[in-house]
Amino acid sequence: MDRTEPYYAVIFTSGRTEGDKGYADMARSMERLAKEQPGFLGMESARETIGITVSYWESMQAIAHWKQQTDHLLAQKKGIADWYSWYKVRVCLVERSYAFEK
């Protein structure tokens, strides 16, 4: 994801409940859907004890639009009911970045 600052990052940290209950399918489907949204720039994920997903967006408007997307709203509801024991969402302005590559 190469993009000049400023842009936005949404840091989604979470704890999962026991069992899959359709979680893996939903996660793949939400990633596909996010990529189709206006203003989407990229997404990175890892899960060990906790899960961290960071998605990157052109603007606050793009983030607000994605939050209200119909299928995503359904996933948010099911997330609270079935998949997560907790989560936290942080909306951030990316002010600067630097990178290293071998």
Which residues form the interface with a second copy (CB under 8 A)? 9, 11, 13, 44-52, 54, 80, 84-102
Nearest approach in angstroms of CB 49 to a second copy is: 7
Nearest approach in angstroms of CB 50 to a second copy is: 6
Residue closer to a second copy (CB basis): 49 or 70: 49
Rounded Cα distance between 95 and 74, Å, is 32
Of 74, 77, 54, whose CA–CA distance to 8 is shortest?
Answer: 54
Contact 66, 34 (CB under 8 A): yes
Nearest approach in angstroms of CB 38 to a second copy is: 20
Backbone angles phi, psi at 14, to 5 degrees: -155, 155
